[in-house]
Amino acid sequence: MNWNSDLIGVKGIGEKTVKLFHKLDIYTVRDLLYYFPRDYEKFEEPKSILECKSGGIVTIRAKIPNQNMELRKAGRLVLFKFYLLEGDKRIEITYFNMAFLKNTFFPGQEFIFRGRLEEKKGRFSMDQPKFYKPEEYSKFLNTLQPVYSLTKGLTSNFIQKAEKEVLKNLSLEQELLPEYMVEKYQLCSRREAFETLHFPKFEEEVLNARKRLVFEEFLAFCINVKTQKNTDMNLPVSSPLLKTAATTRLLEQLPYKLTNAQLKAWEQIENDMAGNYAMNRMVQGDVGSGKTILAILALLMAAYNGRQGALMAPTEVLAKQHYDSIMEMTEKFHLDIKPILLVGSMTAKEKRRAYERIELGLANVIIGTHALIQGGVNYHDLALVITDEQHRFGVRQRQTLQEKGDNTHILVMSATPIPRTLAIILFGDLHLSILDEMPVGRLPIKNCVVNTSFREKAYQFMQKEIDAGHQVYCICPMVEAGEMENLENVEEYAEKLQEYFGEKARVAYLHGKMRPALKNQIMEDFADRRTDILVSTTVIEVGINVPNATVMMVENAERFGLAQLHQLRGRVGRGKDQSYCIFINGNQNNKTTERLELLNKSNDGFFLANEDMRLRGPGDIFGIRQSGEFAFRVGDIYNDSEILLETAALADEILLAESTKNLFPLLETFRAEVGNEVDFRSI
């Protein structure tokens, strides 16, 4: 067995279960080992009924009371209910379809109950709590139990068994890092790291294990980026582009004036492109700061010079949106350009036709997804490559696209608020243009963070906005039922909403697992106002621009990082109308609430990212990824920024010394083994 072995060879995993693993994007042994728990349940000291607070998971020690237990049918369900009592507080306990429990709970007997304690109008209740005999519980006391994200049919237990099997058979003994490094940074071994993360005992160990993997992941990443950097500095272009009046004309025709920040960025871009060396520039600007128009201006400049420009977006939906808006401008402002769309879901025939037009130079503004860098595409004369939402792409992809031309100019656009120190590491060689100013006339978004009891009110509010001709997004963390208890899922939620609104609103839903063509259709329907409410996972997080949408409601907001919530929020408030964001907090512990309340205080992405970092500290293990977009397998650029800075400096040291002193004997093996684990597709 090795890292790349297929899961089907793992003992206990058969044809049927392997499909379930595939659903979780786990295909190889490596994927499995890197599939870490999303959380660890801590078996803490049980509390008395009076001590327990509602809104989260609690562990209660209580006696079964001397009173009747209720067993009755409700529709297809059999309910089994009783009350736990202390003083004048009582908690209603309910089990569904577990009638046999009446022979388990005897009056006077003590049990430990563990589950979510809800409170509604002063009445406390717990559904389906796990229960233990005190002596049984004491065995777990103070230990951690991993909780994995699941799919229907797969349990945490089963995943753990598979992890055990893999850890038993995989050779992980060789230490790839030099000894001095292991000592200096107090790293545990790789084996220990994986074992601890899947079979944890105590919290401190878990943190340390995680640190080891973050360290090696970041180090490999930094070494790779830095070797890359040296290769594409100052590449001379075959012929400099000329500045063109077409861009100035477009700016005069636009219904708005560029902000000063946009103007400055455009000046920088224009100068770069008119220079003798290939541009390498990143435009960084918060959601809604107006990055797209800069891309369009740059594409225009390339096209009017008789060359080609390509714009690559991370999703088809976004590519299509860019294409549509460029087409619209082309017609409206009589631009002399020939745009074309190239995405994966096009038929073979459509693609062939696009390839031909691109190769012959009949199309000069090419917009698409990864399809732009596929083997079949040959560009006639590619002078400019733009990637939108840069962090979603790999360095290699950027490079592949660039290599389709001859030292092409590169422009990347990102909305992720990254402090400059980190940006320099992550994007190495790029010059930065920062859009730190929002277009004028935007009304600040009104935010509210509320609990689930506010839903009804929120729906009424949504109805009002829809009646006024506006549209609404509803975000759920899950795609389908059963993936995780207690979390809203897109499919059922959409059904629920349609039932609620009936004739009064048209509800559609969208998620990443759908066919691309269907996704495009649904997105287009929403953009053209054929639907009123779009229930979606975070697939709509990047780039989507439907200015008529004025309400963003996020269910289980506690499941998302602030930066991500901020991105989601950026989907509204893109037009002139007042927009609203409703964050539903499904877990009212103090820390979550404090974190979410920050969204009320600020609409500034940088501020939020920093505050989030400060609030969460290093105690957060895998709970919430601050930035889902930076798909490091383990590390999180915000929470682990210190390690990132450290490894960047270390990478410099290693690369500098490598030729003279042999600081890192296993460097090549390390890069091959660990470097491959850094998913360059996503950064």
- How many Å apart are CA 299 and CA 188, to the nearest integer? 50
CB of 626 to ligand ADP, least distance (A): 19
Q: Which of 163, 270 has the CB closer to ligand ADP?
A: 270
Tokens representing 666?
């296993």
Q: Binding to ligand ADP by residue 292, rule CB under 6 A? A: yes
Q: Binding to ligand ADP by residue 265, rule CB under 6 A? A: no
Which residues within the stretch 285-324 sit at the binding site for Mg ion (CB under 5 A)?
none
Binding mask 403-422 for ligand ADP (x = CB under 6 A): ------------x-------
Q: Which of 146, 543 has the CB closer to Mg ion?
A: 543
Which residues within the stretch 340-369 sit at the binding site for ligand ADP (CB under 6 A)?
none
How far is the first Cα of the chain from the last one, in angstroms, to the nearest whole number?
29
Sign of CA dihedral 112, 123, 42, 94: positive
CB of 608 to ligand ADP, least distance (A): 16
- Integer CA distances (angstroms), 122 to 41, 91, 125, 320, 452, in order: 27, 10, 10, 51, 15
Q: Which of 516, 575 has the CB closer to ligand ADP?
A: 575
Pick from ligand ADP, Mg ion, none: which does 285 bind, CB < 5 to 8 A by kind? ligand ADP
Q: Binding to Mg ion by residue 428, rule CB under 5 A? A: no
Beta-ladder partners of 81: 70, 94
Which residues within the stretch 517-556 sit at the binding site for ligand ADP (CB under 6 A)?
545, 547
Q: Binding to ligand ADP by residue 564, rule CB under 6 A? A: no
CB-count exposure of residue 31 (10 Å: 0-12, 13-18, 19+): middle
Count other Cβ atoms within 10 Å, centred on residue 238. Answer: 10
- How many Å apart are CA 504 and CA 401, to the nearest integer? 47
Is there a contact between 305 and 391 (Cβ–Cβ < 8 Å)?
no
Q: What DSSP character marks residue 221?
A: H
Is there a contact between 295 and 311 (Cβ–Cβ < 8 Å)?
yes
Report the residue closest to ligand ADP, judged by CB.
290
CB of 286 to ligand ADP, least distance (A): 7
Is there a contact between 128 and 97 (Cβ–Cβ < 8 Å)?
no
CB of 568 to ligand ADP, least distance (A): 12
Q: Which of 184, 332 has the CB closer to ligand ADP?
A: 332
Q: Binding to ligand ADP by residue 259, rule CB under 6 A? A: yes
Is there a contact between 504 and 479 (Cβ–Cβ < 8 Å)?
no
Pick from Mg ion, ligand ADP, none: which does 262 bind, CB < 5 to 8 A by kind? ligand ADP
Q: What DSSP character marks residue 514?
A: S
- Integer CA distances (angstroms), 593 to 44, 58, 114, 639, in order: 22, 17, 22, 19
Q: Which of 216, 286 has the CB closer to Mg ion?
A: 286
CB-count exposure of residue 443 (10 Å: 0-12, 13-18, 19+): exposed
- Integer CA distances (angstroms), 509 to 30, 494, 629, in order: 33, 6, 22
CB-count exposure of residue 492 (10 Å: 0-12, 13-18, 19+): middle
Size of the site for Mg ion (CB under 5 A): 1
CB of 377 to ligand ADP, least distance (A): 25
Which residues within the stretch 199-258 sit at the binding site for ligand ADP (CB under 6 A)?
256, 258
- How many Å apart are CA 586 and CA 559, to the nearest integer? 9
- How many Å apart are CA 586 and CA 557, to the nearest integer? 7
CB of 546 to Mg ion, least distance (A): 12
Radius of gyration of the chain (CA): 27
Q: Binding to ligand ADP by residue 291, rule CB under 6 A? A: yes
CB of 546 to ligand ADP, least distance (A): 9
Which residues within the stretch 526-555 sit at the binding site for Mg ion (CB under 5 A)?
543
CB of 292 to Mg ion, least distance (A): 5
Q: Binding to ligand ADP by residue 262, rule CB under 6 A? A: yes
CB of 527 to ligand ADP, least distance (A): 12
Q: Which of 313, 637 has the CB closer to ligand ADP?
A: 313
Q: Binding to ligand ADP by residue 285, rule CB under 6 A? A: yes
Q: Which of 241, 258 has the CB closer to ligand ADP?
A: 258
Size of the site for ligand ADP (CB under 6 A): 17
CB of 418 to ligand ADP, least distance (A): 15
Q: Binding to ligand ADP by residue 574, rule CB under 6 A? A: yes
Q: Binding to ligand ADP by residue 314, rule CB under 6 A? A: no
Which residues within the stretch 46-105 sit at the binding site for Mg ion (CB under 5 A)?
none
Q: Binding to ligand ADP by residue 569, rule CB under 6 A? A: no
Is there a contact between 639 and 620 (Cβ–Cβ < 8 Å)?
yes
- How many Å apart are CA 559 and CA 487, to the nearest integer? 9
- How many Å apart are CA 309 and CA 296, to the nearest integer? 10
> Where does this chain touch ligand ADP (CB under 6 A) — which range of 282-290, 369-377, 582-590, 659-667?
282-290
CB of 275 to ligand ADP, least distance (A): 25
| Amino acid residing at 601 | K
Q: Which residues here bind Mg ion, judged by CB under 5 A?
A: 543
Q: Which residues here bind ligand ADP, judged by CB under 6 A?
A: 256, 258-259, 262, 285, 287-293, 415, 439, 545, 547, 574
